[in-house]
Amino acid sequence: MLNMPHSPPKEGAKALRQSTPVAKPVTAACDHDRACGRGFSCDRHFGLCVPLRGEGHYCRRDAQCVRGLSCMFGKCHRRIPDGQEGARCKVDRDCGASMCCARHHGEQVCKRRLTLDESCYVPDGGLAFSINQICPCDEGLLCRESSGKLQREREFIYQPERTSWTCQVPNL
């Protein structure tokens, strides 16, 4: 429906059927991108040359996306400038001020450090922690167990992911 013309051609559907077909790229076997030529990449999983993909399309690696896009979390996205939140990184110094390099859905990206009163609890490992990590507390703050008062007026709701560990100003 979205790819249909705004107004039908003068001759109707017959003209659409008789019009020159759009040339489809011939898929060729490959084992690296250079074998595919301009505008194509090698899908190494299937060993076939495929057209480069645009924003929002599925991908497995950067080379499958058109210029200016990168493959993040399985889709082609606009590149985030180095050092900014969400940009790829390898170590903390690749990120800007008050940020660290941590995993997000398995991809290492710049994330902001935790601020005052944000939860800083880190589980004892497991799949969730290895896929998604959090940064440590911002400079001058420490991750400590809160000594907040219990609020017994509220109904008790079990929330195992919420803990009382937060970023706090150290007691001097």
In the prediction, which pLDDT does 122 show? Answer: 75
Q: How far is CA 113 from CA 8, 72, 95, in A?
A: 56, 21, 11
The pTM (predicted TM-score) of the whole model is 0.65
Q: How confident is the model at residue 159 (pLDDT cuts 50, 70, 90)?
A: low
Whether 114 contacts 128, CB under 8 Å: no
Residue-wise pLDDT for 115-132, tens only, equals 999 988 777 766 666 778
Question: Which tokens sit at 54?
Answer: 């645009």
